[in-house]
Structure 1
């Protein structure tokens, strides 16, 4: 009996050592146009319950000052996946993600607007032995092809949430990204038609099941709750309390996304993978007005979603455009239930993931983010970033400590974000010396940038 006990103890010790040494799985979940105030765990104006996003926050770390690199879909996603300020290679706004390159040649996976030799997040992890997969909104070179090992239900900017009579989702997996703004409806119209958000979640769950024995990286890039406004009729009872048809549809789309996040988390639990899987969640930018496509005349042109206490929305450099819900969970390494209040950026996710995966990058890969793990684990104090930047066209912003300088052409505004999260008090006259310091930082960032790739079309 004693010998058996010793053998069992040694076996458990060996298994524990193997588990500790195993590389973590990584899942990056990116919402589309979800506002800072939409998640229940942020405690603001969430329209509908978000129990699974809240579950991530309860079991992980919720960031109160999590930023994206642009308040629009395309450049924000470039910044996330390259880990580099996308302005440095000419991607300032959405049109820069589809404009022709300087040589007039079509993009390929080997030759595109990302600097030569610079690895995207999934490529760096792939080189470190990870199998990589994605579904959802791409915005990246060579759509609908990607650099992931597996991909399905990929779209450039938008797609129909319900299929046509042939089973095809307009705007999805198409050689030419047409988008999907054709109609507004509660569906499905036909029995058996599957909602696109469910397709994305199902692909993620299937990928996890098939690759449970090896380290994997999955990019679940929802297009919800982005327009077109299309929602599942089964969710109508849960959004009946909302005042307008547009907000009811938005709420239902948010419910569906949250349900699919739940499916992913449940699959990790079922397979015993939760402890050693990093799950990160963020939105690509803040809340917005719905696009006016087939918009009924009697519907108000209203904001969809909530920016909470923030000012501004998608497309602006106010906090409501660039500050988003931002959560990281890694149960085996990070204490649950933390709230982290220093500014962080989606630029940080690339180096954080690579450090956790022991994944090196090429010398041509220039990352602008930092590994967040030492800060989140209490091994380093202070702020991960001294300064953060935003820029497109004639405007931008610089965040340095508590101060933020907002720029539009020759106009400037200065805000103390510690005291004024809603950016309601311009302090530029009271603190001209601070404004001058931030102006220099801003110009030092902007001056070396190349022209926007679509600059000619803008003029």
Structure 2
């Protein structure tokens, strides 16, 4: 008996917990209007000729999204993506008039909410198909089979017969009557009071549908308020307006200055106002996440704009069904009192497919495997929290509405359309390409939001990149590009990190002791024998990657470090690069160790790990020979080593090896450093010979040069022959670590060096790769000040990335990925370094240990124009 009681008690507690947890979730109300343009609501277009006070009130109390997109520029395409979190081009949407588009068991926003304890209701236009077996029979496959507890609405638009109401999965009254076709004089044939001939139910009047749906939605809200309130509500209100027919009630006729369309938009706004009032009267406004948007662009022609002075798409080109922005860039507003700051604006790229993942995040649950393959969580944009790069959308792929072969991809500022023409209702729908002309369209929306200047022929590299990215997304059946392989064919648009790979530990098999951890590598790495200023975050590492030191953590445990000789660790580093969108690395190969067998063996071991890591993570790598410490006559060691690697290991043929201009990349660091009184032991003539050897071997050569190379000043040898040698290279990369110390000096450096350097390289047909770094410190290595060049919580590094972009640079070198010696590392470092005498360590100033990995990934996106260039650290 006691066991039965215990089970009953346990069950009761579980049910009580479920009720309480579901009650903690907000109500969710989605209001989707039909064919309303970005330029219609006054809150999105101050020049609008239509008054929309109720929509504007939602914006004042919530957040407006200025870069939100329908997943397709037609009604059924858009609604499929909204419901499923899946791009509509991934399915055949054409059978909707007779068959359901959503598969049985496919997760939807409604079934997700129902699973999490919501009462779910839909009112309005479905347009995603039923299994039609006659209108006096049940209609399977509709809203009540896709997660909604209740449904009252219509099968499609109010200009597509048959016209009848549906409650649940049955017609309220079958469409037994007939209605003749109708259209309005003075408008295009698909505008005005346009509807098609067909069957109509005796109880349905087309001009009564819009207010009837408002009545039904208010009833849902009132019934929800009258229950015990333990369950939250999800209401999806899909108005069939201002889609045609434009049937304004008498009180709105002539109220706008945008004709019959504007009058109807005002009526839609008034119906939304009624719903807002119902939420207030039910006392649930403060507990409700409200979403307002439109399913696709308006049916509005250029002649309408010229005649009435109202631009229904705002500044954007095109209209409904088009691949141009007017077809799919939508007004989107989210209001959530207490969570979303009022009267705010977000430029986060959003697609309606993102509602599924975002609602899941609101509910505190994860989507099941395979669900919502094109859904990204934008809750962080709503709440102002820092975002996980793997969840934030930075691209968008769509098929045009009337030209199925026409695809478009948006990536950052760039937009590619695969053919010429609108692909939709605007004329011409399709333009055949001609010899020597563009075969598609490329626009930079940051500079040209109206899509007036086709840059397709001017930027073939961007066309190729976007084409490859779109193919990956389409072929892989999901939108995640975090796992997409880096493009190893070019350095253009790349942010590459230096990777030292020089850390060794006693017991790691390299026989090099505590190299680069300790001053005396043959003695224990411990207080008093230390050369690093940052301590790596090892919380993710496995026990077989960790090596005991003589330091103690704050909790009294033994502090540990890693070894670059350990394969698991190097592979882990490359997974981090993949996770945060870092393109690849230059593996440092120090030439002064090439004749030491033990050191060379370690070099080759780490190189093997890097090759495997880059291959598995889809990153790239290239060799960078550092000439520091070489004597005269020793540069031949570099040439011999490269030839060995290329012939014995086929290094340059590795699919992960970085290429540029069709050739494998080799970097040589240390050409031209010196002063009037002292230069390096190896000569410029030897450097010339080495460069020529690499060029003859079919390589793209990068030279790491002094900051003052162009004017033969500062850290450069004052020898005019230096410029002659540098002209032999393909890419110049001046070393800047320590050359400036704060944001103001970065700005001066950009003006004095990077911008004229870039111009010089352009004039001499060379590429230019400036070096940026997060901060600097070598207190334990050389006794200097701890934190001698502060990081300023990322501001210092970001200011350099911005400066390089302003200077016109198209590639960046980040120093360094893993160098904790001089405090320039960007990989995961801890804010709780060991304690003990003989070693002071920096932290990441309380920032997350992955902050700089994220920031470098963002620098790449900014450099390529995928995100806006803003002074604020992202």
Bin of the TM-score, shorter chain as denominator length: 0.7 to 0.9
User: Which residue pairs with 1:265 in the alignment?
Assistant: 276
User: Which residue pairs with 1:335 in the alignment?
Assistant: 341
**RCO higher in 1 or 2 (8 Å CA, sep ≥ 6)?**
1
**2:124 paired with 1:136:** yes
8 Å CA contact 1:184–1:230 kept in 2: the answer is no
8 Å CA contact 2:85–2:374 kept in 1: the answer is yes
Query: Mean alpha-carbon deviation: is it higher for 330-339 or for 353-362?
Result: 353-362
Q: 1:78 to 1:160 in 2, by over 3 A?
A: closer
1:292-324 C-alpha deviation (Å, 9 max, x unpaired) = xxxxxxxx9999961110011111110000101
User: Which residue pairs with 2:51 in the alignment?
Assistant: 49
Compute the displacement of 1:220 (Å). Answer: 0.6
Compute the displacement of 1:123 (Å). Answer: 1.1
8 Å CA contact 1:171–1:178 kept in 2: the answer is no
User: Which residue pairs with 1:26 in the alignment?
Assistant: 28
Q: 1:47 to 1:304 in 2, by over 3 A?
A: closer
User: Which residue pairs with 1:387 in the alignment?
Assistant: 395
**2:96 paired with 1:97:** yes
Question: Aligned to 1:327, what secondary structure does the other structure show?
Answer: strand
8 Å CA contact 1:405–1:435 kept in 2: the answer is yes
Counterpart Cα distance in 2 of 1:176 and 1:440: 49
**2:222 paired with 1:209:** yes
User: Which residue pairs with 1:151 in the alignment?
Assistant: 151
User: Which residue pairs with 2:74 in the alignment?
Assistant: 72
Q: 1:22 to 1:252 in 2, by over 3 A?
A: same
251, 255, 275: which one pairs with 1:234? 251
Q: 1:268 to 1:113 in 2, by over 3 A?
A: closer
Q: 1:413 to 1:279 in 2, by over 3 A?
A: same
**2:409 paired with 1:398:** yes
Counterpart Cα distance in 2 of 1:178 and 1:439: 51
**2:242 paired with 1:225:** yes
Structure 1 unpaired stretches of 5+:
1-17, 100-106, 162-168, 243-247, 291-299, 450-459
Counterpart Cα distance in 1 of 2:118 and 2:465: 43
Q: 1:367 to 1:216 in 2, by over 3 A?
A: farther
Q: CA RMSD in A?
A: 3.3
TM-score normalised according to structure 1 size: 0.77
355, 367, 375: which one pairs with 1:369? 375
Q: 1:287 to 1:221 in 2, by over 3 A?
A: same
**2:239 paired with 1:251:** no
User: Which residue pairs with 1:197 in the alignment?
Assistant: 210
**2:410 paired with 1:408:** no
Compute the displacement of 1:365 (Å). Answer: 2.2
Compute the displacement of 1:361 (Å). Answer: 4.5
Counterpart Cα distance in 2 of 1:179 and 1:321: 33
Question: Aligned to 2:57, what secondary structure does the other structure show?
Answer: helix
Counterpart Cα distance in 1 of 2:354 and 2:260: 33
User: Which residue pairs with 1:170 in the alignment?
Assistant: 163
Counterpart Cα distance in 2 of 1:401 and 1:283: 23
Query: Mean alpha-carbon deviation: is it higher for 272-281 or for 368-377?
Result: 368-377
Query: Mean alpha-carbon deviation: is it higher for 58-67 or for 115-124?
Result: 115-124
Counterpart Cα distance in 2 of 1:254 and 1:321: 18
**2:446 paired with 1:418:** yes
Q: 1:355 to 1:74 in 2, by over 3 A?
A: same
317, 320, 323: which one pairs with 2:323? 317
Compute the displacement of 1:265 (Å). Answer: 1.1
Question: Aligned to 1:325, what secondary structure does the other structure show?
Answer: strand
Q: 1:323 to 1:177 in 2, by over 3 A?
A: farther
8 Å CA contact 1:116–1:364 kept in 2: the answer is no
Q: 1:122 to 1:368 in 2, by over 3 A?
A: same
Counterpart Cα distance in 2 of 1:277 and 1:301: 41
User: Which residue pairs with 1:275 in the alignment?
Assistant: 286
Counterpart Cα distance in 2 of 1:265 and 1:45: 25
Counterpart Cα distance in 2 of 1:176 and 1:372: 42
Counterpart Cα distance in 2 of 1:274 and 1:448: 41
Question: Aligned to 1:141, what secondary structure does the other structure show?
Answer: coil
